Amino acid sequence: MTRALFIIDVQNDFTEGGALGVDGGAAVAAHLTSYLERAASDYSLVIASRDWHNADGDNGGHFAPVGDEPDFLDTWPVHCVAGTPGADYHPALDRSAITLHVKKGQGEPAYSIFDGHVDGGASDGATVGEVLDAHGVTEVDVAGIATDYCVRASVLDAVEHGRHVRVFTDLIAGVARETSDTALAEMGHAGAVLVASDTGVDAD
């Protein structure tokens, strides 16, 4: 059994004070750092994704047109623009244990980590699916932001790609309680296991 950890979009724009800040986002960053201090060695890969949108244009309709209100379903305020502080990892997240960095968006809507590409290293440009296959990863744990959007999409894609998936319910934060609860139910129905991060790697 080979296991990977997905850290989804723990970025300044998705935490308190950011363009699309989620309550509890900073706590997720800090708790993930604590988790990695004790558990990073349990993973063959720790893969962190970031939205990385173009500064010019609407990124395939992802950004609401200037002067229009976003609907917060398909269109959003400007966020996580490449190279800006909002696109950076939250400072409470210790990056030292991250083995692969994934950028997603880059001119088009992208929610799932599987929509992105590895940035840097020997796997530069590869998709997450290709990396998991190359390393024989069969088990995936997922944490990050936001439960009801990019975490949800990443979990469902991981299940669809044939991985056994666990969602760490104490290491995620969502936009809204109702949509987060719905997303968790959907993930569980799809086959993901919803557990606390202290469950241990051998318990599924």
Complete edge-to-edge strand list for the sheet that includes strand 100-105: 117-118, 100-105, 45-52, 3-8, 139-145, 164-173, 193-195
Catalytic residue among 80, 103, 115, 150: 150
Catalytic residue among 9, 141, 148, 157: 9
Catalytic residue among 13, 104, 115, 148: 104
Q: Tell me how far apart the alpha carbons of residues 172 and 151 are, in angstroms, rounded to a whole number.
A: 8
User: Is 58 an active-site residue?
Assistant: no
User: Is 124 an active-site residue?
Assistant: no
Using an 8 Å Cβ cutoff, are 107 and 80 in contact?
no
User: Is 150 an active-site residue?
Assistant: yes
Alpha carbon 138 to its chain's center: 18
Residues catalogued as catalytic:
9, 104, 150
